[in-house]
Amino acid sequence: MKSTIFKVAANYLLPLLLLFSVFVLLRGHYESGGGFVGGLIASIAFVLHFFAYGLESARSFFRFSTATLIPIGLSISLFSGILPMFAGKPFMTSLWFKKPVAIIGSVGTPLFFDIGVYLIVVGVTLTILFTISENVK
Amino acid sequence: MFGAVIAGFLISLGLLLFGKYIKSKYFFLLALYPISLFAYFSGFITKINQQLDIVYRSEWVPQYGINLDFRLDGLSLMFTLLITGIGSLIFLYTHKYLYGNKHTDKFYAYLTMFMSSMLGVVLSDNLIALIVFWELTSISSFFLIGFNTEDEKSRKNAQLALAITGIGGFFLLTGLILSGNIIGSYSIQELLQSRELLHNSPYYLPAIALIFLGAFTKSAQFPFHFWLPNAMKAPTPVSAYLHSATMVKAGIYLLARLTPAFGGHIYWNTTLLIVGAVTMLYASINTLYKTDLKGILAYSTIAVLGMLTMLLGIGTDLALKGLVVFIVAHALYKASLFLITGIIDHETHTRDVTVLSGLRKVMPLLFGAGILTLLSNIGFPYSLGFIGKEMIYESTLGISGPVLMWSIAAVTIISNIFIGYSGYQVALKPFVGPIPEKFEKIKPLSVFLLLPPVLLSVAGIFYGCFPYIADEILLKSATLSVTRHFTDLPLKVWHGMSLTLVLSILTILAGAALYIFRKQTHRQEEKMELLDAVKPEQLYNYLKTGVKRLALFYTQVMHNGYLRIYIMTIILFIICVVGYKLFTEVPIQINTSSLSTFRLYELTVFSIIIVAIMVTIFTSSRLTAIAGMTIVGYCICLMFVFYGAPDLAMTQFTIDTLTSVLFVLVLFKLPPFMKYARATIVTRDLLIAVAFGTLISIITFQALVSPAEKEVSRFYADNAYLAAKGKNVVNVILVDYRGFDTMIESIVLTIAALGVYSLLKLQIKSSDKE
């Protein structure tokens, strides 16, 4: 993919898509969206860059391997489930802050759970894609 | 009591994790654990003798009646003292035996785990808890037997032991659940009180048959005995521990424990009598043809186990008392014999009975211990073995029916002669005679090695001289647990002149004569090995190869690596199962009147789908096919949007995009596109596809007619905001109501990524090697 138009477009699309993916993640509680879709959109953003600039460039966005996102995401999800247990409630009971935060809305354990899912999805998708494409060459 | 059992598992875990930081010279300190347990359980002796059982209860899964209940009574106490007492000696002995081995920490971890599991077995008062500990003994003994992981034979034999005892454990589980269902409780105490109920139940026979399979595999009864001689590959302390007081006695313990509930039935007693007698005779004959000291001991152990089973089969008060006495006597002398063998092996590096001789000059104290052990083994007066053997002879002579009585008595006497002979071979032969030059430089033995066999052999003689001490402390209350009523059978050193005494003397003399006039040679052993082809062990081998072949066949048929075959299998399966259910049980109604007409944009999307499918099927380029599939996917997204499912549409859209990207990525790797499908295959695929499509259509129509269950969706719609503060019901379900599912799905995704990663990375590595 050597097209200059595509490369330039990819440059602008990456931050836009990432922003959009976070937007989708956060609005998931009230409107259509959520961690899973958000994660997929974020992955598409990186895949676009990968098509335009190649694997190495796409990998350079991540300090560590993309696979490290998976355990981080899993831990966040698990932690958001365990958190209520410290308050003496059953595993995965949702807890909320009293006052909603500006822009984001109400913040509670389900949000962290969704962030965990988001990271897992990005990690899994990119790990699979990058590994396969690396192997194909 | 709970803590005493559980602490072992914690220590074991700690050793596995941090054991490598312990210096070799401190390992003997671990023996403090079994020693303190021994002291702790000894403290209950007075209470148990007053018939006050110690009970500990804790709930585990109370809904199913599964509880971690422990109960200490006479029989349990006898076994706990044997387990912890001999265990302490084994712990000390191992310190020196494995000194410098770099996996000693692991060995102690497995040993501790095994000891705790064994304590669990003999203390459990719940059938399910018992089977859990029972399986734990199988698993931990697997690690112990296969301790020398670098030796292939050792690994194989550990597998064999695990396979046999594991299969037995499975039968036992079924048998115990069956018995639990007959009486409506898994409590052993209640089981023992439900004798009538069990005996009159139509399931009595299957229940005892299954329990027998479990106990016989564990206690190495013919024809399941062959795992035990093979398990001799284990380090000798393990053999001493597993085959004297613990592992193999678990089966005997179970049978003795259940005797008050199941015993006294003709099936129960006859089976035990015959199986025990056959095992005893078969194994004792085998001892004649072994040249490896441990091989001899293995078969003599099996013979004794057969004898104990036979005593349970005789089932009289005398026989049960004899059983209890002989369990202790055998545990003491067999552990000692194994430990002596271990020392000989450790110092001379051989266990070949034809080579060993003259060791009394370099190990005089051990020779003394050997003599004392031998006395108990051959049943010499003033040893515990003598008292046990007298009772066994007396109880065989008490069997009703002269033919049965004389045949059983004869078999018992012959077997005992051979068992006694094997004792001479192990405890006397290596020490007497001229000493070969190579053994002369053996250094004096460490106290860690010497102390255990000396203590055990002295105990065997001490209790033989003062049997009433053992009787008062332990044996009386242990017998009471098995017979469930008081028995007035005091143990005496001297029974007076009687037929049994004559038989005992005859046994000792015949054994000695056999020892003097017969020589154990390799030639005989080789001749005996010719019979291997017809031994029961072959059955296991056939079974093993059979399972392997079946697995290979299954893999070739079901996991052939062709994606198209996988998909076809799945679809055919769905057609068969769903179709069968649909056409046999549901009255099919197709009602088209409620369907709305096509709107223009729906029709447009629909025609695009049709065209895309046609292109996908008939194209001769992969890229086009992928593009076609993607178009179909996008069109379905539009359908979702039309019918008010934006979340679904979004996800479908992104997934479709990523799948196409993935396809394109691997496109270059695939072989060139070929139309190699023959007409018949195409027709077959067409038929399957049409059948599947039709089925799904019918189901869809059927769904329209069936009254929809709105309650669930209404519940979510009503509660999503109130309870979970979310307006997007789909997302609330995902992250809150069904958060558990989402978490598990995340883990599935992770596993998929790991799978792809490791599969491809490994492949790269192997190509690098080339």
Mark yes or no for CB contact B725/A35 under 8 Å.
no
Does any CB of chain B come closer than 8 Å to the CB of residue A66?
Answer: no
In single-letter form, the type of residue at position B535 comes to: K
Residue of A nearest to B767 (CA): A135
Mark yes or no for CB contact B756/A131 under 8 Å.
yes
Phi then psi for residue B590, to 5 deg, are -120, 115
Predicted pLDDT of residue B178: 92
Q: Are B325 and B391 in contact (CB under 8 A)?
A: yes
B32 with B170, same domain: the answer is: yes
Of B499, B302, B471, B537, residue with least CA distance to B413: B499
Picking from B651, B658, B665 by the largest number of A CB atoms within 10 A of its own CB, the best residue to mutate is: B665
B58 with B135, same domain: the answer is: yes
B370 with B227, same domain: the answer is: no
Structural domain ending residue among the three candidates B262, B277, B294: B262
B258 with B271, same domain: the answer is: no
Picking from A21, A23, A24, A29 by the largest number of B CB atoms within 10 A of its own CB, the best residue to mutate is: A29
Does any CB of chain B come closer than 8 Å to the CB of residue A43?
Answer: yes
Tell me how far apart the terminal alpha carbons of chain A are, to the nearest angstrom: 15
ipTM tops the 0.90 cut: no
Q: Residue holding tokens 């000692």?
A: B336
B344 with B448, same domain: the answer is: yes
- Is residue B766 predicted with pLDDT exceeding 60? no
Mark yes or no for CB contact B669/A96 under 8 Å.
no
Mark yes or no for CB contact B658/A41 under 8 Å.
no
In a domain, B543, yes or no: no
Does any CB of chain A come closer than 8 Å to the CB of residue B661?
Answer: yes
Q: What is the pLDDT of residues B472-481, one digit of tens each?
A: 888 888 888 8
Copy the structure tokens of residue B61: 């899964």
Of B529, B343, B305, residue with least CA distance to B426: B343
> CA-based Rg of chain B, rounded to a whole angstrom?
35
Does any CB of chain B come closer than 8 Å to the CB of residue A21?
Answer: no
Q: Are B500 and B188 in contact (CB under 8 A)?
A: no
Nearest by CB to A131, which of B739, B747, B760?
A: B760
Q: What is the pLDDT of residues B450-495, one digit of tens each?
A: 888 888 888 888 888 888 888 888 888 888 888 887 777 777 777 6
Does any CB of chain B come closer than 8 Å to the CB of residue A75?
Answer: no
Q: For residue B256, what are the CA distances in angstroms to B19, B180, B185, B253?
A: 38, 18, 20, 5
Question: How many domains would you assign to chain B?
Answer: 3
B134 with B253, same domain: the answer is: yes
Does any CB of chain B come closer than 8 Å to the CB of residue A74?
Answer: yes
Of A27, A55, A24, residue with least CA distance to A39: A24
Q: What is the pLDDT of residues B219-251, one digit of tens each?
A: 888 888 888 888 888 888 888 888 877 888 999
Q: Are B287 and B299 in contact (CB under 8 A)?
A: yes
Q: Are B365 and B445 in contact (CB under 8 A)?
A: yes
B296 with B255, same domain: the answer is: no
Q: How many CB pairs under 8 A join A and B?
A: 129
Predicted pLDDT of residue A103: 65
Predicted pLDDT of residue A124: 92
Mark yes or no for CB contact B665/A133 under 8 Å.
yes
In a domain, B587, yes or no: no
- Is residue B679 predicted with pLDDT exceeding 70? yes
Mark yes or no for CB contact A37/B746 under 8 Å.
no
Overall residue count recorded for chain A in this entry: 137
The pTM is what? 0.74
b/e map B742-760, b = 16+ CB within 10 Å:
bbeebeebbeebeebbeeb
| A84–chain B nearest CA distance, Å | 13
Predicted pLDDT of residue B573: 93
Q: Which residues contact B93 (CB under 8 A, 6 or more apart)?
A: B237, B240, B339, B342, B448, B449, B451, B452
- Is residue B770 predicted with pLDDT exceeding 50? no
Q: Are B373 and B333 in contact (CB under 8 A)?
A: yes
DSSP B422-480: HHHHHHTTTTSSPPPGGGTTPPPPPHHHHHHHHHHHHHHHHHHHSHHHHIIIIIHHHHH
Structural domain range at position B407? 266-520
Read off the DSSP letter of residue B19: G
- Domain borders along chain A are 4-136
Of B402, B96, B122, residue with least CA distance to B250: B122
Q: For residue B491, what are the CA distances in angstroms to A104, B79, B316, B503?
A: 85, 19, 16, 18
Mark yes or no for CB contact A113/B742 under 8 Å.
yes
Nearest by CB to A114, which of B646, B650, B735?
A: B735
Stronger pLDDT, B268 or B484, i.e. the higher one = B268
Q: What is the pLDDT of residues B80-104, one digit of tens each?
A: 999 999 999 998 888 888 887 788 8
Does any CB of chain A come closer than 8 Å to the CB of residue B654?
Answer: yes
Q: What is the pLDDT of residues B548-569, one digit of tens each?
A: 999 999 888 888 888 888 888 8
In a domain, B370, yes or no: yes
Does any CB of chain A come closer than 8 Å to the CB of residue B731?
Answer: yes
Chain A residues whose beta carbon lies within 8 Å of the beta carbon of residue B757: 67, 127-128, 131
Residue of B nearest to A25 (CA): B731
Predicted pLDDT of residue B134: 92
B184 with B324, same domain: the answer is: no
| A128–chain B nearest CA distance, Å | 6
Where chain A has pLDDT below 50, the residues are none
Predicted pLDDT of residue B737: 76
Q: What is the pLDDT of residues B364-405, one digit of tens each?
A: 888 888 888 888 888 888 888 888 888 888 888 888 888 888
Mark yes or no for CB contact A110/B727 under 8 Å.
no
Q: Are A43 and A125 in contact (CB under 8 A)?
A: yes
Predicted pLDDT of residue B630: 92
Cβ-in-10-Å burial (0-12, 13-18, 19+) of B250 comes to buried
Residue B610, SS3 per DSSP: helix
Nearest by CB to A132, which of B646, B736, B760?
A: B760
Residue B57, SS3 per DSSP: coil
Q: Are B735 and B618 in contact (CB under 8 A)?
A: no
Contacts 24+ apart (CB under 8 A), B487-490: B487/B317, B487/B320, B487/B321, B489/B317, B489/B318, B489/B321
- With bands split at pLDDT 50, 70 and 90, how would you rate the model's confidence at B27? confident
Structural domain ending residue among the three candidates B262, B297, B332: B262
| B736–chain A nearest CA distance, Å | 6
Paired sense of beta strands B66-67 and B59-61, if any: antiparallel
B312 with B427, same domain: the answer is: yes
Does any CB of chain B come closer than 8 Å to the CB of residue A19?
Answer: no
Q: For residue B298, what are the CA distances in angstroms to A66, B535, B750?
A: 57, 16, 49
| B14–chain A nearest CA distance, Å | 26
Mark yes or no for CB contact A113/B735 under 8 Å.
yes
CA distance B383 to B385: 5
Q: Residue holding tokens 């379900």?
A: B733
Chain centroid, CA A69 distance in Å: 9
B251 with B358, same domain: the answer is: no
CA distance B227 to B291: 18
Does any CB of chain A come closer than 8 Å to the CB of residue B732?
Answer: yes
In a domain, B593, yes or no: no
B223 with B135, same domain: the answer is: yes
B212 with B179, same domain: the answer is: yes
Does any CB of chain B come closer than 8 Å to the CB of residue A45?
Answer: no
Nearest by CB to B749, which of A28, A120, A132?
A: A120
Task: Give percent of chain B with pLDDT exceeding 90.
Answer: 18
Of B341, B332, B302, residue with least CA distance to B464: B332
Does any CB of chain B come closer than 8 Å to the CB of residue A113?
Answer: yes
